[in-house]
């Protein structure tokens, strides 16, 4: 059996293509830095409720939700559901969509409910 000698393949130089510089997008000042821990919506609901001087029992009654469900949601033991969050936000005088946009306090639509 005869061996066929290996013929080296010539190395063709590859042209160096400069990599394009991609501009870094500017982050709006309204977006918090990534190091900011996320705030649970229930915590925000509790803060707003306390600022308005409304008891948990009264808010549950105004929103038409179970007080225990509201308590678990505020304490972070439950993620709640859309109906609960929407009813509570409405009872506090906030629209849910605007609350998510502004989140830390949202944007009140009408004056707070008096205690």
Mean pLDDT value across residues 76-86 = 86
Kindly report the CATH number assigned to the domain that includes residue 74. Answer: 1.10.260.40
Is residue 14 one of the residues assigned to a domain?
A: no
Is residue 75 one of the residues assigned to a domain?
A: yes
Is residue 64 one of the residues assigned to a domain?
A: yes
Is residue 18 one of the residues assigned to a domain?
A: no
pLDDT of residue 62: 95
CA gap 42, 6 in Å, rounded: 73
Is residue 91 one of the residues assigned to a domain?
A: yes
Q: Assess whether pLDDT exceeds 70 at residue 60.
A: yes
| Residue 1 or residue 4, greater confidence | 4
Is residue 25 one of the residues assigned to a domain?
A: no
- Per the structure, the complete domain to which residue 57 belongs is given by 41-102
Domain tally for the chain?
1
pLDDT of residue 53: 94
Mean pLDDT value across residues 101-112 = 49
CA gap 75, 26 in Å, rounded: 36
Is residue 11 one of the residues assigned to a domain?
A: no
Which of these, 61, 66, 98, lies nearest to 80 by C-alpha position? 66
Dihedral sign computed on CA atoms, order 65, 66, 69, 75: positive
């Amino acid at each position: 059996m005869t061996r066929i000698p290996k013929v080296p393949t010539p190395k063709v130089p590859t042209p160096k293509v400069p990599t394009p510089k991609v501009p870094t997008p500017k982050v709006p000042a309204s977006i918090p830095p990534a190091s900011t821990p996320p705030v649970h919506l229930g915590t925000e609901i509790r803060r707003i409720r306390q600022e308005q001087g409304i008891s948990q029992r009264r808010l549950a009654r105004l929103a038409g939700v179970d007080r225990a469900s509201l308590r678990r949601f505020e304490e972070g033991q439950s993620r709640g559901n859309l109906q609960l969050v929407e009813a509570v936000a409405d009872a506090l005088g906030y629209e849910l969509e605007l609350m998510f946009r502004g989140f830390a306090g949202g944007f009140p639509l009408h004056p707070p409910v008096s205690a």
